[in-house]
Structure 1
Amino acid sequence: MGLDLRIRPERLALRAPFRISRGVKTHAEVVVVELARDGATGRGECAPYPRYGETVESVVAELETAARASSLDAALAALPPGAARNALDCAAWDLRARLEGRSVADLLGLPAAGPVPSAVTISLDGVDAMRDAAAAAADAPILKVKLDADDPAARLLAVAEAAPAARLIADPNESWTAALVAEMAPVLARTRVALLEQPLPAGEDAALEGIACPVPICADESLHTRADLAAVARRYQAVNVKLDKAGGLTEAAALARAARAAGLKVMVGCMVASSLAIAPALPLAAGADLVDLDGPWWLARDREGGCRFEQGVILPPQPGFWGDPIPRL
C-alpha cells in the first residue's frame, strides 16, 4: 500500500551570496515532504548536499522509493543516513506530535524550545567585505567566520576587530593543512576563537591526533552518525551535529547524547534552509555548548510563522509550525 507521502523540491532565494571554501550559492535547494495519516499531516525539510553525493534529484528518488515501503519504520530503516531520511524522520516526528497532541520536545523528554543564541555566519569574501559584514552583525554574541587557505589570518583579524564583543567560530570547511593549523594557532588564540571547525579534509584528519591547538577543534564533515564517534574522539574535542548528516532528529538526538558521554562538546548546526529544517533541531539546542542555526537568516523570505532572529538570538517558530501542535479545544 505504501505511505501517503508528498514530495516537493523547492528553490529558495538567498538575500546575499553564501560563500565557503568549496564555492558560492545564491539559492537554497531543499526538498519538502508531507506525511499524512489519520487526518493529520507532518512536514519535514532537508537540504541535499553535493559534498556528500546528494542532489535534489537523488533525494527525491530515495523518497519516492521509501514511499512504497510497507510501513514508516520500514521506509526509515531502508534509507541511509542523509538528507532524504532526515526529511522523512522529521515529518514522522511532526505527524506524531499532531496525532498525540504533544510537542516533540515533550515526546523526547526535553525542555520546550526557547530563545537561544545562534552563530551568525560571515560569508567568505574579501577582507574589507568580511569586516563590513562583521560590523553589521557585531551585536550578535557568536559569529561563524568562513575561511579558506588564502590569508585566513587577515580575514579572521578583520572580523575580530569589527565585532570585538563576539565569540568566533573559525570554519575553513576542510581547506587547511596541518601546517596551516599550526601557523594559525597564535591568531586563533588572539581573536577569541571559541572553536575551530573541520580545518582538514575528512579522511585526512588523522593528522589532528596529538596536534597542539589553543582552541577546541570541532568535527563537521568527519562526523555523520554514532558510527563515526570512535575515530572522531581521538582527533577532535567537539562535534557539529546536523540533522541532514545524521539522517534526522532520531539519530541526531542519540548522537548528541553519545558525544557528550564521550567527553566531547556539542554544537548543533544546520545547512542553509528554511525554518522548517531548523525547527526540528531546536529541541537539541538548549543542551548544546554552541548553536549554529542561522540557515533561515540567509533567506530572502522564510516560511510564514517560522523562526525569528534578533541580535544573534533565534526565537522559536509560532505554535503549530512544526512539532508543537496547537492545543485541541
Structure 2
Amino acid sequence: MNIKTGIMDLQLKERWQISRGGLDTKQCVLVTLEKDGITGYGEASPNTRYGESVELTLERIHSVADIYRTHHPFHYREIKAELDEAITDQSCAKAALDMALLDWFGKKWDLPVYRIWGLNPVAAPLSTFTIGIASPEEIRRKVREAADFPLLKIKVGVDNDDEIIGAVRAETDKPLRVDANEGWTDRQLALEKIQWLATQNVEFVEQPMPAGSYDDVAWLREHSPLPLVADEDVKTAKDIPRLKGVYDGINIKLMKSGGLLEGLQMVHVARAMGLKIMLGCMIESALAISAAAQLAPLVDWADLDSNLLLSHDPFNGIRANEGKLRLTNQPGLGSNPR
C-alpha cells in the first residue's frame, strides 16, 4: 500500500474554548492508503495536551510506511501490533493510519465497517451538541441555536461555572452533560459543584479533576450524586483496569486510543468491568467523526459533533444533525472528500 499525507486547516465558526485553552483553527493531518485502485482515508487531530504536533504526526506516519508495503492489508491486526511498537507517542498518527486501513478494507468488500463487525446502526445513541466556555450572553445564544438537539454537553471547570449553567438554564430545561476538562483541583469544591449540578438536570460529570488524581476522584465518586466519566484519565484499554472504583464510565476517543481497533478493544474491557461508555471526539472533520461513529452502536453515550462547529468541512459523511447519528450503507467509513 502507498501512503500519502496532507494538511487540512479546519476553520471553526467561532472560537472554541475549554478550561485549559482555546482555538480558532485546527490543523489536522490527512492520510491516504492506496492499493488496487482503492483509496482509504484517515485523519489525525494532534492535541498538545498529549504532547502531539502536526510535525511529529507526519514524521511518525512516514516512518512506518514499510509496514504497509510489506503486509497484506487484510492482516490489519498484525499491522496494528507493529504500529503499537513503532509509534508510542503520537496516538493520533496511529488513529489516522488505522482509519485509512479500515476504510480501504470496507471499500474493498463494499461494506461499511460497522456491518463488517456485525453491528446494528439503529442501536447508536443520540449525540450531544457541545457548548464551549463563553460569556453568559454568548452561551444563551448558542443554546438557542442548538434548539434542535435534545441533549447538550456544557464545558465548565472555571470560576464562573454557576453563571455558565445559569445561562443555559435561562434558555432550556433539557438534560445536560457537563465536562470540567480537569478544571477542578480541590475535591471538596468539586463535590460542592457536583451537588449543585445534580439539582440542574445534569446526567453526569466528565473528568472533574486532573488526570492521575485517582484517590481524590475515588473519594469524589463515593460522595457524588452524579456518575463520573473519565476522559483525560483513559487513552487505551490498558488504562481501564486502574479506573475501577474511581469512575463510573469512560470516554473513548479515537485520537487517544490510536484508532478503531483499539477503541473496539476498549469497549470489551469496559463492559467486562461494568463501566458505561461514551464515544467522543477532538476538533475533527466528518472523516474522523464518521470513523468514530462505526463504534456508536456499542456505546451508551455519544458526543460526535465537532464537525458541526466547522465553517467548512472538507469531507462529507456522518453529521449528528438533531443529535441523530445516521450510519449509512456507504462502504468503509462512509466519508469521502467533497
Query: TM-score when scaled to structure 1?
Result: 0.91
Worse-matched range after superposition: 297-306 or 190-199: 297-306
Q: Contact conserved, 1:111 with 1:283, CA < 8 A, in 2?
A: no
Q: Contact conserved, 2:3 with 2:33, CA < 8 A, in 1?
A: yes
Worse-matched range after superposition: 215-224 or 229-238: 229-238
Say whether 1:248 aligns with 2:259: yes
Shift of residue 303, structure 1, vs aligned partner: 3.1
For residues 169 and 214 of structure 2, the distance between their equivalents in structure 1, rounded to whole angstroms, comes to 27
Shift of residue 304, structure 1, vs aligned partner: 4.6
Q: Contact conserved, 1:48 with 1:56, CA < 8 A, in 2?
A: yes
Percent same amino acid at aligned positions? 34
Query: Among 299, 312, 326, which residue is 1:315 paired with?
Result: 326
How many residue pairs get aligned? The number is 322
Aligned-partner SS, 1:278: helix
Deviations 1:84-107 (A, max 9, x none): 000000111011111222221122
Shift of residue 220, structure 1, vs aligned partner: 0.2
1:95-174 aligned at under 5 Å gives the runs 95-112=104-121, 116-164=125-173, 166-174=174-182
Worse-matched range after superposition: 131-140 or 25-34: 131-140
Residues 317 and 17 of structure 1, relative CA distance in 2, 3 Å threshold: farther
For residues 315 and 46 of structure 1, the distance between their equivalents in structure 2, rounded to whole angstroms, comes to 23
Shift of residue 312, structure 1, vs aligned partner: 2.8
Aligned-partner SS, 1:223: coil
Aligned-partner SS, 1:187: helix
Q: Which stretches in structure 1 are left out of the alignment for 5+ residues?
A: none
For residues 308 and 258 of structure 1, the distance between their equivalents in structure 2, rounded to whole angstroms, comes to 28
Shift of residue 226, structure 1, vs aligned partner: 1.0
Aligned-partner SS, 1:286: helix
Query: Among 266, 272, 277, which residue is 1:261 paired with?
Result: 272
For residues 329 and 118 of structure 2, the distance between their equivalents in structure 1, rounded to whole angstroms, comes to 21
The residue that corresponds to 2:233 in the other structure is 222
For residues 123 and 170 of structure 2, the distance between their equivalents in structure 1, rounded to whole angstroms, comes to 31
Shift of residue 17, structure 1, vs aligned partner: 0.8
What letter corresponds to residue 258 of structure 1 in structure 2? V
Worse-matched range after superposition: 267-276 or 80-89: 80-89
For residues 250 and 37 of structure 1, the distance between their equivalents in structure 2, rounded to whole angstroms, comes to 21
For residues 235 and 217 of structure 1, the distance between their equivalents in structure 2, rounded to whole angstroms, comes to 8
Aligned-partner SS, 2:282: coil
What letter corresponds to residue 57 of structure 1 in structure 2? E
The residue that corresponds to 2:301 in the other structure is 290
Q: Which stretches in structure 2 are left out of the alignment for 5+ residues?
A: 74-78
The residue that corresponds to 2:31 in the other structure is 33
Shift of residue 39, structure 1, vs aligned partner: 2.0
What letter corresponds to residue 155 of structure 2 in structure 1? K
Residues 216 and 59 of structure 1, relative CA distance in 2, 3 Å threshold: same
The residue that corresponds to 1:76 in the other structure is 83
1:6-25 aligned at under 5 Å gives the runs 6-25=4-23
For residues 4 and 123 of structure 2, the distance between their equivalents in structure 1, rounded to whole angstroms, comes to 30
Deviations 1:132-165 (A, max 9, x none): 212221331111111123121221132133121x
For residues 192 and 286 of structure 1, the distance between their equivalents in structure 2, rounded to whole angstroms, comes to 25
Aligned-partner SS, 2:294: helix
Query: Among 78, 88, 94, which residue is 1:85 paired with?
Result: 94
Q: Contact conserved, 2:285 with 2:315, CA < 8 A, in 1?
A: no
Shift of residue 317, structure 1, vs aligned partner: 6.1
1:38-77 aligned at under 5 Å gives the runs 38-69=36-67, 70-71=70-71, 73=79, 76-77=83-84
Q: Contact conserved, 1:116 with 1:315, CA < 8 A, in 2?
A: no
Q: Contact conserved, 1:138 with 1:162, CA < 8 A, in 2?
A: no
